Amino acid sequence: MMMNRNLLSAADLSRDQAVEILDIAEGMADVNDREIKKLPTLRGKTVVNLFFEDSTRTRISFELAAKRLSADVINFSAKGSSVSKGESLKDTAQTLEAMGADAVVIRHGASGAANVLAHSGWINGAIVNAGDGTHEHPTQALLDAFTMRKRLHGKASAGRSLDGVKVAIVGDILHSRVARSNLLLLNTLGAEVHFVAPPTLLPANASNMKATLHYSLDEVLENETPEVVMMLRVQAERMNASYFPSEREYARIWGFNADRLAKLKPGAMVMHPGPMNRGLEIDAISADSPQSTVLGQVANGVSVRMAVLFSVLSGERANHVN
Amino acid sequence: MSTSFVLKNLSIGDGPVTDIEVTGDLITAIGENLSAAEQIDCAGLVALPGLVDLHTHLREPGFEQSETVLTGTQAAALGGFTAVHAMANTSPVADTAGVVEQVAALGREAGYVDVFPIGAVTVGLEGKQLAELGAMANSKAKVRVFSDDGKCVHDPVLMRRALEYVKAFGGVVAQHAQEPRLTEGAQMHEGAVSAELGLAGWPAVAEESIIARDVLLAEHVGSRVHICHLSTAGSVEIVRWAKARGIQVTAEVTPHHLLLTDELVRSYDAVYKVNPPLRTATDVHALRAALIDGTIDIIATDHAPHPIEAKDCEWNAAAFGMLGLETAASIAQLVLVDSGLSNWSRLAQVLSENPARIGQDPNQGEAIAVGQVANLTLIDPTAKRTIVAESASKSINSPYVGLELPGRVMHTIYRGYFTVRDGNLAKAGRP
């Protein structure tokens, strides 16, 4: 199947393409279990990790993924670079183009930065969005979907979608790129999405979002009995901006804890994209429970990013479509 | 003895075919079968009083990389304008008699349109202390319109004082209605699209709450207030209510808010980044209806040139604003005439007569008649043109590039002088 040259949004993927990436990631996961964790697939390709925002976790996950496929990896930390400081996204992109980057993995604080990079004509390499502002984080959605599929279907995962799976995503929906990408990919894969948040952290107009909105986590756990509960990180900057009165109140009403863990049906899982604020959106008992997928998500992240880099870089490099 | 010329076989607004004779800087005859040594065939053209823009950013002094008084007024002439009001957010800010006189002098020197400087309401547009409104009003620039445009006069006491104070010299405060706390970091209209795009939302209520406050303040102190660039259906309702109540309020809409919607932001192309933001199709519909029924008094361009680097970047880093002078008449024609919902007379009101009246511009916006100063715009309504990036403006941030728009300004006559003839800009302004 023809894959896109870029991965900017989870919406870029058709159902078949998404399932195919997850299936490729299954194969990559097998490589990661071998003694020699390396494939020659992307030998001679250069992958640039262009990070305008600090994110050690995402960066090393992409770095490891590229290295396991034998690509050359350059980490370009451009934190602080901005128009005001004299180096624009355009200058950086043109510099990377001049150096011959085959793929650019971009993390940027501005929503749409990956789109701008992909459609500006500044750069010909493949663009992978590793998080743009409060917009999207498509590889996170893929690794989350991979994790769900693995938990639910084990070794029989290959080829499967997430039809009928109920997923509750809890927390700062308004500012979460994880929630946006998950919503799109989960819809594509046939899952049913429930957003749970204080009203202040839901979009004022969510009419284009195919999700059911809830204010009460307890009601969702009792009435919807989801297979998946995904807790989102509460960013520090929300705490002083009157989105909710106090951390204690937030944890009590929207945090995941042992009492809520006990309400989960058998086989259900608790997810978190990390890093966790233990004691705020998730307590230690839940985070370290058998139902928690937190560490599995990290491991799966490498496999999924290998699959994504493989998909955008292998084969049709001469084919400048999309 | 001044030389005469005759414009042959045009229609004045929606009227029948006729001729106009211009001698020196005056209209000296109107009627059929006029003749003079110089006759210009205007068959099929519509004559309007010279267009007047109440809201132009000429960027000089201070931002000459984006636009100058010369290039901005050349773009204005090509768009059919014979007068523009230059917004105060220059560097230095137009908050003293010296700066407004300088801008007016640059306008006279260029000679393409009348340039009426707008004075800042507060010192440095900082919203803290009234600028010397009286000094600007009494200066050679004779400022009558005051605005902190780009920023809202959000302090209610300061707004009240400004509304009261300008009564002393018949001025008007033009408010940029934007509640600052509700729009901190705002990037685009807050709605279904901003939720998807993850761009910080700019709620309609941030505009509407200020308009509601200011019409009530204007009523309380018996002043008139002008609302810049209305952009929401809710703002229209408030202005409609205020007018029905007898409050002296006038309202403006930009061409882009009459045509474009927030759906365009999906491209993350910063050419669509503007303040106030592009709204929804529902808002566009309400603005068009209000323009036709008289709730909105004028179209003003909010022509806002920016250098390439201010737009060729990620959305959050980009500047707000878009060009508008050379496309305004076409969009007005589309919305008022070609839609079949209104006519050329209304277009002349909203793009010439009403803005000149609000700005108290001498010899502008007068009905075309013998004895009036010859400020005229002649439009070929049947022409179609595909908008290109290159224009008389120094900047290229037009959101209409690639779009086909109706109508073309064939001639612009500024005080009897062709600043634009056969669609071409005069090499020099009026001596």
The per-residue pLDDT for B31 is: 97
| CATH number for the segment(s) A138-298 | 3.40.50.1370
- Over pLDDT 70: what percentage of chain B? 100
- Quick check: A112 and B191 CB within 8 A? no
Question: Does the structure show a pLDDT above 80 at A220?
Answer: yes
Residues A259-300: tens digit of each pLDDT: 999 999 999 999 999 999 999 999 999 999 999 999 999 999
Strand B172-175 relative to strand B145-146, pairing: parallel
Closest CB from B193, B198, B313 relative to A133: B198
State both tokens at B85: 């009001």
Tokens 């009286």: give the residue: B134
Contact yes or no for B199 and A134 at CB 8 A: yes
Residue A83's pLDDT is what? 45
Percent of chain A exceeding pLDDT 70 equals: 94
Strands B424-425 and B417-421: antiparallel
DSSP for B268-312, please give it.
--GGG--SSPP--HHHHHHHHHHHHHTSS-EE---B----GGGTS
| The pLDDT value given to residue A318 | 37
B344 pLDDT higher than 90: yes
- Residue A5 CB contacts under 8 Å (≥ 6 apart), including other chains: A126, A312, A316, A319, A320, A321, A322
Mean pLDDT over the full length of chain B: 97
CATH code for the part of the protein at B49-359: 3.20.20.140
Give ranges for CATH 3.40.50.1370 in chain A.
10-136+301-318, 138-298
State the pLDDT at residue A321.
36
The pLDDT of B159-173, averaged and rounded, is 97
> Does residue B293 have an active-site annotation?
no
Q: Give the chain A residue whose CA is nearest to the CA of B267.
A: A115
The answer to whether the CB atoms of A112 and B197 lie below 8 A apart is: yes
H or E, element range at A260 = helix A258-263
The residue of chain B nearest to residue A175, with distances taken between CA atoms, is B198
At B147 the pLDDT is 98
Residue ranges of alpha helices (H) inside A4-137 are 15-32, 56-68, 89-99, 113-119
Tally C-beta pairs within 8 A across A and B. 80
> Does the pLDDT at position B58 exceed 90?
yes
Tell me which chain A residues have a C-beta less than 8 angstroms from the C-beta of B192: 205-208
Residue B349's nearest CA partner among B308, B293, B397 is: B293
What is the rounded CA–CA span in Å between residue B298 and residue B243?
15
Rounded average pLDDT over B191-202: 98
Which whole number is the average pLDDT over A80-104? Answer: 78
CA distance A312 to A65: 13
A110 to B314: CB separation less than 8 angstroms, yes or no? yes
Contact call for B195 and A209, based on CB within 8 A: yes
Q: Does the structure show a pLDDT above 70 at A2?
A: no
- Look at the domain A10-136+301-318 and name its fold: Rossmann fold (3.40.50)
pLDDT, tens digit, for every residue of B239-296? 999 999 999 999 999 999 999 999 999 999 999 999 999 999 999 999 999 999 999 9
How is residue A86 written in tokens? Answer: 């004299």
Token pair of A257 as six digits: 């804890």
Asked which of A35-39, A237-241, B35-39, B213-217 is least confident by mean pLDDT, the reply is A237-241
Q: How far is A142 from chain B (nearest CA, A)?
A: 18
Record: contact B267-A136, CB cut-off 8 A: no
Q: What is the pTM of this model?
A: 0.94
Measure CB to CB from residue B314 to each of A89, A205, A207 and give the nearest one.
A89
**Over residues B40-69, mean pLDDT:** 98
pLDDT digits (tens, 9 = 90+) for B219-251: 999 999 999 999 999 999 999 999 999 999 999
- Which of B198, B203, B313 lies nearest to residue A134, judging by beta carbons? B198
Q: What does the block give as tokens for A317?
A: 């490099």
pLDDT band (50, 70, 90) for residue A92? confident
Q: Distances from the Cα of A48 to the Cαs of A63, A81, A96, A107, B181, in angstroms?
A: 9, 16, 8, 11, 39
Chain A residue with minimal CA distance to B191?
A205
Task: Compute φ and ψ for B77, nearest 5 degrees.
Answer: -60, -45
Nearest to B312 among A90, A132, A136 (CB): A90
Q: What is the pLDDT of residue A236?
A: 83
Spell out which residues of chain B touch residue A110, defining contact as CB-CB under 8 Å: 314-317
Cβ contact B196–A208 (<8 Å): yes
Q: Residue B333 pLDDT more than 80? A: yes
Amino acid identity, position B183: T
Give the residue on B whose Cα is nearest the Cα of A82: B317
pLDDT of residue A126: 95
Residue B187 distance to chain A (closest CA, Å): 10
Residue in A88, A120, A134 closest to B309 by CB: A88
Contact list in B for residue A78 (CB cut-off 8 A) is none
Cα gap B236→B204, rounded to integer Å? 11
Nearest-by-Cβ selection for A110 from B190, B309, B316: B316
The Cα–Cα gap between B214 and B225 comes to 8
The answer on pLDDT for A194 being more than 70 is: yes
Q: What is the mean pLDDT of residues A211-223?
A: 98
| Number of other residues whose CB lies within 10 A of the CB of residue B49 | 26
pLDDT class for A79, splitting at 50, 70, 90? low
Taking an 8 Å cut-off on Cβ atoms, the answer to whether B317 and A207 are in contact is no
Interchain contact, B313 vs A89, CB within 8 Å: yes
The average pLDDT across A147-173 equals 97
**B265–chain A nearest CA distance, Å:** 10
d(CA B195, CA A209): 8
Under an 8 A CB cutoff, do B315 and A111 touch? yes
Complex ipTM > 0.90: yes
Chain-centroid distance, C-alpha A91: 27
In this structure, are residues A230 and A144 in contact, taking their beta carbons and an 8 Å threshold? yes
- Per-residue pLDDT at A33 exceeds 90: no
Question: Cβ A205–B190 below 8 Å, yes or no?
Answer: yes
Probe site for chain B from A81, A83, A94 (most B CB atoms < 10 A): A83
- The pair of structure tokens assigned to B282 is 């529902």
Confidence band (pLDDT; 50, 70, 90) for B142?
very high
B203 contact residues in A (CB cutoff 8 A): 204
- Among B95, B148, B297, B302, the one annotated catalytic: B302
Which residues of A are less than 8 Å from B309 in CB distance?
Answer: 83, 88, 90
User: What mean pLDDT is predicted for residues A125-153?
Assistant: 97
Phi, psi of B275 (to 5 degrees): -125, 120
pLDDT at residue A85 is higher than 60: no
pLDDT for A86: 53
